[in-house]
Chain A
Amino acid sequence: MRRLALNEQRDPRGAPPPAATWLLARFGCGPAIESLAGDLVEEFHHGRSRAWYWRQTLAGIATSFAEDVIRHRLIVLQAILTGWTALFLFGWLLGDPMFEWLDTLAAARPMMPRVYPPMVVGSVGYVMCGWMIARLYRSHRAAAVIAFLACALVLQLPRLCDLVVDALGHPRYLPYLSGHLAGMILTIVSVLFGGFGLPCGRASKKIVEAD
């Protein structure tokens, strides 16, 4: 233990990694996140390393997320259902008009970089879902949004496995695999942007304190 602590010694005057602190404030769940963030800063100033700070931050986010999901599983389930309902309604009401608009746009400007309409429409839908979940489930925002994202990614896994098998069998399937991977990355970015990047009402800045 002592050896571990000595190995972790670094310049105690440096500031903790701001990206880690930001991640904890954004994605940490539950009422103890502020205290945890304070503890991490205190320990960092007492000589813990940046690696230690990052490790503890990521563990803190994962643990608080799991704890929030387990303790409020009905709310999280409700949030997931809300997200899928919103996505379905979006596709039903706005999907076709958006596809048409994108086609018209592409036809009118042939020099414009080629956009991939399903990805654009899907991204807009996922941004909207993330935002809606964040807005409706403010007090459990991180848990609700991340659970919806995890669910969306899990549903894309079977197709990914199929494509990996196909691509291993023949390289002509590689573009499909990369397209699917790009879609998954876009899903992550879109849900996170909608859930955490857009304002979601009065409590958005005070979420950690209000929780």
Chain B
Amino acid sequence: MARRDYLGSFELMVLMALIRLGDDAYGVPIAREIESHLDREVALGSVYATLSRLEERKLVTSELGDPTPERGGRAKRYFRITAKGIREARDTQTVLVRLWRDVPQLKGGSA
């Protein structure tokens, strides 16, 4: 059986944030999108570390924007999910849903 690397929970969150943000996905909005659902602070460094890992696995691509004075002359790095990334996210969701199903402790939000 071929070895498969399923996504970790934070990797999945980052991919979902990328899908939701579309073309405007760079560090700050990605972290904000995750924070708004997690209800706690997210380290931007962790977001970039995860994105760099996902990029290495070709699940996302990135390109540099123009440097802006607001950012001290530094460019934004925009990220976009690839078709492979969408496929991986869907596969991970399928596995999670399958595992979730028919577990009595997880029914009705009591656990």
Point out residues on A near B: beta carbons under 8 Å.
1, 4, 21, 30-32, 34-43, 45, 55-56, 59-64, 66-67, 71
7 nearest A-B pairs in the assembled complex, by CB-CB distance? A38-B74, A60-B45, A38-B71, A63-B45, A35-B77, A59-B43, A39-B27
The total number of A-B Cβ pairs within 8 Å is 86
With CB as the reference atom, state the residue of chain B lying closest to A41.
B72
Contacts of B45 in A (CB 8 A): 36, 56, 59-64
Q: Does B44 contact A (CB under 8 A)?
A: yes
CB-CB under 8 A for A39 and B72, given A1-B35, A32-B52: no
Q: Does B58 contact A (CB under 8 A)?
A: no
Q: Does B53 contact A (CB under 8 A)?
A: yes
- Report yes or no: B27 in contact with A35, Cβ–Cβ below 8 A: yes
Query: A64 to B56, alpha carbons, bound, how many Å?
Result: 15
Contacts of A71 in B (CB 8 A): 53, 56
Shortest CB distance B84–A (Å): 19
Query: A59 to B49, alpha carbons, bound, how many Å?
Result: 11
Q: Is the interface of A mostly helix, strand, loop or mixed?
A: helix
- Report yes or no: B44 in contact with A38, Cβ–Cβ below 8 A: no
Q: Does B70 contact A (CB under 8 A)?
A: yes
- Report yes or no: B53 in contact with A38, Cβ–Cβ below 8 A: no
- Report yes or no: A41 in contact with B26, Cβ–Cβ below 8 A: no
- Report yes or no: B40 in contact with A30, Cβ–Cβ below 8 A: no
Shortest CB distance B81–A (Å): 17
- Report yes or no: A60 in contact with B48, Cβ–Cβ below 8 A: yes
Point out residues on B near A: beta carbons under 8 Å.
26-28, 31, 35-36, 39-41, 43-46, 48-49, 51-53, 56, 64, 67-68, 70-72, 74-77
Query: A61 to B48, alpha carbons, bound, how many Å?
Result: 11
Shortest CB distance A93–B (Å): 41
Shortest CB distance A99–B (Å): 44
Contacts of A64 in B (CB 8 A): 45, 48-49
- Report yes or no: B75 in contact with A67, Cβ–Cβ below 8 A: no
Contacts of B51 in A (CB 8 A): 32
From B35, B43, B52, B64, A56 is in contact (CB under 8 Å) with: B43
Shortest CB distance B20–A (Å): 17
Contacts of B27 in A (CB 8 A): 35-36, 39
What are 16 A-to-B residue pairs whose CB atoms are below 8 Å?
A30-B48, A31-B52, A32-B49, A32-B52, A35-B27, A35-B64, A35-B74, A36-B44, A38-B72, A38-B74, A42-B71, A43-B28, A43-B44, A63-B43, A63-B45, A67-B53
